[in-house]
Amino acid sequence: MSDDGDFAARWRDAHGATATREVLCDAAHALIRREGLDALNMRALAATVGVSPMAPYKYFPAKESLVAEVRARVRSGFAAHLQQAAVCANEPADRLHRLCTAYVGFAVRNEQEYRLIFLTRGSAVESDDRGTTPAWTVLLDALQQMGDHRSAVDALDEAHLIWATLHGLVMLHLSDRLGFGRSVEELGRSSSRFLLNALRLP
């Protein structure tokens, strides 16, 4: 994603609808990262790109369609972040620990993107061809690869419990309700150890 100062030049240099939509999505993503989703509207987007207020509507008929596309990109980035953490591990326990740490780390460093994925209307709509989201697939696949003793039902239940634990921890952090002498990063590591013990991974 380019810096804000590049958007006007990129708009002028864009050839075709696909390239122009890319500029608008990058500009919208930059606004969301900087100020949150509430700051994004078509007028603010047009000002960021340096075009007339009506110009973005040619490529996105409504804010919702633009947000859906940005959300899909952010979800893919989140999944890639988790996948990168998973492939660095050789052992099942280390893989889960890295996934938990990467999950919390993404949310802490990318608060507005995390909110966009999970806390916006329609955020549960986009899915891949397996009927799920990319990040969920990374977690579920990691659990299913942990051994023949782990059935598909076990892995599905465990994935839900892990996701609920991490999401709950992150939401307490984002709502400033996490305290009592522990940071979200510390509790993320503790959650990983707790989950490993609970799942009795080899």
What per-residue confidence (pLDDT) applies to 125?
43
Which region among 7-16, 44-53, 172-181 has the lowest average model confidence (pLDDT)? 172-181
Task: Give per-residue burial for 64-101: e unless 16+ CB within 10 Å, then b.
Answer: eebbbbbbbbbbebbbebbbebbeeeeebbebbbbbbb
Q: Within 13 A of 149's CA, how many CA atoms are on the CB side?
A: 6
Q: Is the pLDDT of residue 128 over 50?
A: no
pLDDT band at 18, cuts 50/70/90? very high
Question: pTM to 2 decimals?
Answer: 0.82
- Helix, strand or coil for residue 182? coil
Cβ 106 vs Cβ 78: under 8 Å = yes
Query: Which of 123-137, 142-156, 171-185 shows the lowest per-residue confidence on average (mean pLDDT)?
Result: 123-137
pLDDT at residue 51, as a whole number: 94
CATH of the domain spanning 71-199: 1.10.357.10
Please check whether residue 62 is in contact with residue 50, taking contact to mean a CB–CB distance below 8 angstroms: no
Residue 142 near residue 86, CB atoms below 8 Å: yes
In the chain, the percentage of residues whose pLDDT exceeds 90 is: 46
> Is the model's pLDDT at 184 over the cut of 70?
yes
Per the model's pLDDT, the better-predicted residue between 161 and 149 turns out to be: 161
pLDDT of residue 22: 94
- Domain edges within the chain: 4-61, 71-199
- Mean pLDDT across 177-198: 80
Architecture of domain 4-61: Orthogonal Bundle (1.10)
pLDDT for the residue numbered 137 = 84
Q: List, in order, residues 6 or more apart from 155 with CB less than 8 Å away.
A: 140, 143, 144, 146
DSSP 179: -
CA gap 198, 179 in Å, rounded:
24
Q: What is the DSSP string of 119-164?
A: SSTTTTT---TTSS-HHHHHHHHHHHTT-TTS-HHHHHHHHHHHHH
* Placement of tokens 């500009």 in the chain: 27
pLDDT in tens, 72-121: 999 999 999 999 988 888 887 788 888 889 999 999 999 999 999 987 76
pLDDT at 5: 54
Counts for the chain of helices (H) and strands (E), in that order: 9, 0
The closest of 19, 127, 3 to 71, measured between CA atoms, is 127
